[in-house]
Chains A and B, each alone.
Chain A
């Protein structure tokens, strides 16, 4: 099961990187989504895949009765998802603002901050 998931991660990373290399910012965003989910899956696999119950101790017990799932990777993934969600939302807002202000989402045409040198200058 782990190896299957690892293959999935590999494909996601490959597709994500391919998309991120495009000069279109929307493609970049989609690549980013794929890549961040691949990263989440890496943590998920790192916590080992087991068939077990949620790590909750039943009422009146001191310790769980049967083997429980590792809760830590899930907590980390949830945190990573929340953060990734925030960053992605922010980036999306930025791309939208860029499109409104600059009229393009092609990064090759964005030369405002670093204008190409004019002929005969220094």
Chain B
């Protein structure tokens, strides 16, 4: 058991080190990295299946019993996040073979990519606040490196802003950890669930909640802490943006969900109110920011922000259906968003630019690309019967159940504005003719490049379609996961068996 739960981060670290060692032989490094990603995917599938079968599983590193040692836990939320991390890791690794240039590979792209996956997976399995911090840092260092790898001038500029704001987030988190430890004497999440409920200091709890919301909010790109994201996400190669968009901000959301369901008492409404306001403003400001942009990747970057609002909305509403909606939205959004960014990369390869004014004609030369974009984009906007529709439906129903009509209204307005941005990309990049006519078709690429670019995209679109047409199994899974989150007794009993539940 211990090994199964440790593999999601041990495997990428080992793969990354071997890839880093072989970086001067890019072919070999690529093969190592791809093998590692396949291995990681198999591991996370095994974990997912076991968690679905047996419920929450836990392991103690170094045979030290909880809450003294390092605990690894996977409940349903962790398992589905791990599965998504493995999936995104694999498809982006395939895409990166075509997209990332040789110079960046020699500088160690594959090694840092694997390290990033290790940090992401580590954050999802850890059962301990301090280790969450450590994995965040691993992820952060790897993302810094990926962001500025290649050293173009715009990359350095975007990198500085990314680094500056994210470092503040880690310091907030560290201070919060210090205070949690001072208040309770433990950092094990399950033990904190028990210990923090007994803390009778409302002032300290409020301060802690704000510190953690700021720390994770910066990572998750919540309003008004998201300014690092539009400043930096469009500077690295597309493969890097895709994996960032798919996983990085979602780790922040995951940390928020974990913290405010597990360690804080369930009746701590202060945090939920704060999160609700932040979520609504995030949704609106993100989508309005996107409407003002005129570049493929920047529009998508702003949409990442607005989608984060939806993810946090489910947590803020804090009902079983809302949390289930959040988790469903997470699955849908990671798949659709990663896919859209990969498509933007292919679109640029074929038209030569990200700027919507300078490109066009993609529908004519490549109907396949147009079709996959259409499905992914309209799923993001929440069109039935695509996956985004069910995700939004769950969240809107949950807000109507609580008679929060204005929440539902904001969600619907955001959806409409998303549709506006997606239609803009559709009409500019795909429908209108290319201004200079210099657009190449997919068939002009080599066969291997075509496979490397289109296989991940088609795979992700198939998942989006599948989730849209047969949402029931996933909805049921999400509802079970949400029930688990709202009643952490099972989680606590698994991690601390001596407590007897």
Contacts and interface: CB of A to CB of B under 8 A. Distances in A.
Q: A and B: partners?
A: yes
Interface of A: 20, 25, 28, 32, 35-36, 38-40, 42-48, 72-73, 76, 79-80, 83, 86-87, 90-91, 94-95, 97-98, 101-102, 107, 110-114, 122
Nearest to B170: A87
A122 B294 contact: yes
Chain A CB within 10 Å — which of B153, B155, B160, B164 has the most? B160
A28 B181 CA distance: 28
A39 B144 contact: no
A96 B181 CA distance: 37
A17 to B, nearest CB: 9
Given A90-B144, A98-B156, A32 B230 contact: no
Interface in B125-165: 130, 133-134, 137, 140-141, 144-145, 148, 151, 153-161, 163-164
A55 B158 CA distance: 46
Interface of B: 130, 133-134, 137, 140-141, 144-145, 148, 151, 153-161, 163-164, 167-168, 170-171, 174-175, 177-179, 181-182, 230-232, 234-235, 294
A42 B164 contact: no
Given A36-B171, A73-B181, A94 B144 contact: yes
26 contacts: A28-B164, A36-B171, A39-B175, A43-B181, A46-B181, A48-B182, A73-B181, A76-B130, A76-B177, A76-B181, A87-B140, A90-B144, A90-B163, A91-B163, A91-B167, A94-B163, A97-B148, A101-B156, A110-B157, A110-B160, A110-B161, A113-B155, A113-B161, A113-B234, A113-B235, A114-B231
B-side binding surface: helix, strand, loop or mixed?
helix
Contacts of A80: 133, 174
A-side interface mostly: helix
A62 B387 CA distance: 60
B294 to A, nearest CB: 6
B178 A39 contact: yes
Given A83-B134, A102-B153, A90 B141 contact: yes
B157 A112 contact: yes
Contacts of B137: 83, 86-87
Contacts of A113: 154-155, 157-158, 161, 231-232, 234-235
Contacts of B155: 113
A49 B294 CA distance: 57
Contacts of B179: 42, 46
Contact of A97 (B145, B151, B154, B158): B151
A79 B167 contact: no
Nearest to B130: A76
A44 B133 CA distance: 17
Contacts of A47: 181-182
Contacts of A39: 171, 174-175, 178
Contacts of B158: 112-113
Contacts of A79: 130, 134
A18 to B, nearest CB: 14
Nearest to A39: B174
A42 B159 CA distance: 29
Most buried by A among B130, B141, B181, B234: B181
B160 A25 contact: yes
Nearest to B137: A83
Q: Which of B133, B157, B178 has the most CB of A within 10 A?
A: B178
Contacts of A87: 137, 140-141, 167, 170
Nearest to A73: B181
